[in-house]
Structure 1
Amino acid sequence: MQIRLKKYVLPLKHTFSISRESHDFQDTLIVSLIFNGKTGYGEATANPYYKITVESMMAEIKVIEDEINDFDFKTPEKFHHFLVEKELTHFAICALDLAAHDLYGKLLDKPLYEIWGTNTKNYPITNYTIGIASIEKMVRKMKETPWPIYKIKLGTEDDVAIVRELRKHTDAIFRIDANCAWTAQETVHNAPLLKALGVEFLEQPLKADDWEGMKKVMQDSVLPVIADESCIVETDVEKCALYYNGINIKLTKCGGLTPALRMIRKGKELGLKVMVGCMTESTVGISAIAQLVPQLDFVDMDGAMLLKEDIATGVTIKDDGTLRFPTLGGSGVNLIA
């Protein structure tokens, strides 16, 4: 098996701001795994919150590059086990695991959702994310991309007023993501006001480790709450079931599709709503997420929609939110840049 690594700097359509950061570009690592004439592609984006850069991921992968080239590839699961034993970060493992799954499906000439025994007849529609900005800019972004579900990033002093103003311009479902910016008291206070404005759920309102605060939120909030920063790896799912109504799984944070599939099963066993989210990936990463959609209650896979320019073809999101799955096996990805 041959491995290739390449860094891309993805330009965004708009400055993307959340409660703790803003950026105009997204650095990302694309991994290619080549075996028996087929190439699988995987991706992991850089993330300052988790202190991950493309350069750091490339450096740790290069340490085991010869071992990867010599690896006797049979299944993505066995490859993932090997990567975990090498103690790579979950972000680096994710890029490699996604590439291994794409490769595996291409070798079998089947899409991953078919290999997993699911079909794409029914699946949730992705939300479209509106980052923090002036109300005028946020309204302009909504009008630029009319969509049935918006995820609104909040974490300002005027959060409810922002949602109240945005509601004047659309009948779409709203989801709120405060990215750890609220207190328990703010969350409980804001929840009924936001519910009246057509908000479906709140995502990660409190700091990731504020479990005492989440006890109050679960007791008193009139809106369901979904864990994101509190749910990173497989072992977090069971704890989150005590403090949240659902979980948002990020492939980069948990280490790829292999653990994500287990987290989905565990979440459902525990009665949680299950969501998979993106980290502003290109179509490489989004196409991997798309393979999971038939298993999900909610999905946030608008990353490629936020880019000025994409670097790959694969699963495409139509204007009505439905998906077009390519006939190519695996995640169905091909690089174009």
Structure 2
Amino acid sequence: MLVQLEHEGYVGYGEASMVPYMGESFQSAAAFLNKVDVSLFKFPFDFAEIIDYLDSLAPGNPAVKAAIDIALHDLEGKLFSKPCWQLLDSHPELMPSTSYTVGIDTPDIFRQKVKEAGGFKVIKVKLGRDNDKELIQIIRSVTAQPVYVDANQGWTDRQQSLDMIHWLKEQGVVLVEQPMPKSDIEGNAWLTQHSPLPVIGDESVQRFADVQKAKGVYHGINVKLMKSAGMYEAKRMIDKAHELNMKVLIGCMSETSCASLAAAALAPQCDWADIDGPFLTTNNPYQTPVLVEGKYQLSNAPGLGLQLK
């Protein structure tokens, strides 16, 4: 769902990418938007006040709240004639490479998908099944590039998980997202304590209040705008993680260039990036973001720098 907000002749664009496990749908987003009084949003925007207002309307609904937040950030950048990354104090030269997720398929098709990801400098793969090692071996038969692994809460035995992580480290894997169920706090903490690779909380970390809880359970957090309810809270989460000496991966859902450029504006403040949405989306109405050597190139255009096709 795409959202537009107008002020003094300028238009800000936002996006809600809703996934079933977060409990959102087009219908729930539309119902939430009908509750929002946009006349309350006065420029310059008080984003702390705005998120409190949105949360007061209804709990949850982080993706549609993110759409509003992103649109207001885009609008604010245009009204100030500054790019969002500058308003958020990011430094483009610190932009990390973004990973590219290779979808699970038959061995031959999976191998071909890895070959087609040659423009990216990092490969990401989702594990948590009985063929985890086979998938990594296929990747290694094609490329020596670094690999990010997302186990999607698919591992349940802590010792077997640790053994797998040691093996993954030998295969050039850089990090492991959400290895065990988020409800197994002790198991994830034990794994983090013993793991030779950074263990990153994903499903365990939704919004700002979850960052403190993740300390000691994970080495770092995965920040996604569709979970954090937008750029304002994502920035707070990043800052809090740094304060706690935790690492940060900034990720995405199935997003167009709109939400992806919003995440990219914060990416230079993070250790790793996984913002491949526009490159996996077939109905992107905007121009595909520019990558150079696998890194987002931030525009100097006001706001998000979003351009229609």
C-alpha distance in structure 2 between counterparts of 1:272 and 1:156, whole Å:
28
Q: Does residue 98 of the first structure (1) align with residue 70 of the second (2)?
A: yes
C-alpha distance in structure 2 between counterparts of 1:272 and 1:262, whole Å:
13
C-alpha distance in structure 2 between counterparts of 1:188 and 1:286, whole Å:
33
Please report how far the alpha carbon of residue 161 of structure 1 lies from its aligned counterpart in structure 2 after TM superposition.
2.3
Q: Does residue 134 of the first structure (1) align with residue 99 of the second (2)?
A: no
Residue of structure 1 in register with 2:127 after alignment: 154
C-alpha distance in structure 2 between counterparts of 1:221 and 1:37, whole Å:
53
Residue of structure 1 in register with 2:6 after alignment: 34
Q: Does residue 242 of the first structure (1) align with residue 224 of the second (2)?
A: no
Please report how far the alpha carbon of residue 314 of structure 1 lies from its aligned counterpart in structure 2 after TM superposition.
7.0
C-alpha distance in structure 1 between counterparts of 2:294 and 2:123, whole Å:
12
Residue of structure 2 in register with 1:74 after alignment: 44
Q: Report the TM-score, using the length of structure 2 for normalisation.
A: 0.94
Counterpart residue type for residue 285 of structure 2: I
Q: Does the 8 A contact of 2:98 with 2:294 survive in 1?
A: yes
Question: Does 216-225 or 118-127 show the bigger shift?
Answer: 216-225
Residue of structure 2 in register with 1:216 after alignment: 190
3-state SS, counterpart of residue 275 of structure 1: strand
Q: Does residue 330 of the first structure (1) align with residue 303 of the second (2)?
A: yes
3-state SS, counterpart of residue 166 of structure 1: helix
C-alpha distance in structure 2 between counterparts of 1:129 and 1:94, whole Å:
23
Choose between structure 1 and 2: higher strand proportion.
1
Q: Identity of aligned pairs, percent?
A: 34
Matched positions, count: 305
C-alpha distance in structure 1 between counterparts of 2:98 and 2:2, whole Å:
23
Please report how far the alpha carbon of residue 31 of structure 1 lies from its aligned counterpart in structure 2 after TM superposition.
0.6
3-state SS, counterpart of residue 313 of structure 1: coil
Residue of structure 2 in register with 1:294 after alignment: 268
3-state SS, counterpart of residue 219 of structure 1: helix
C-alpha distance in structure 1 between counterparts of 2:128 and 2:104, whole Å:
8
Residue of structure 1 in register with 2:146 after alignment: 173
Q: Does the 8 A contact of 1:76 with 1:104 survive in 2?
A: no
| Unmatched tracts of structure 1, length 5 or more | 1-28
Q: Report the TM-score, using the length of structure 1 for normalisation.
A: 0.86
Choose between structure 1 and 2: higher helix proportion.
2
- Deviation string for 1:287-323 (max 9, x for gaps)? 10110121110011010011234211374224x2132
- Deviation string for 1:129-155 (max 9, x for gaps)? 112222222211111121321111112
Q: Does the 8 A contact of 1:30 with 1:44 survive in 2?
A: yes
> Kindly tell me: are residues 179 and 262 of structure 1, through their superposed partners in 2, closer, same or farther at Cα, counting changes over 3 Å?
same
| Unmatched tracts of structure 2, length 5 or more | none
Residue of structure 1 in register with 2:277 after alignment: 303
Across the aligned residues of Structure 1 and Structure 2, the Cα RMSD in angstroms comes to 1.6
C-alpha distance in structure 1 between counterparts of 2:19 and 2:89, whole Å:
33
Please report how far the alpha carbon of residue 60 of structure 1 lies from its aligned counterpart in structure 2 after TM superposition.
1.1
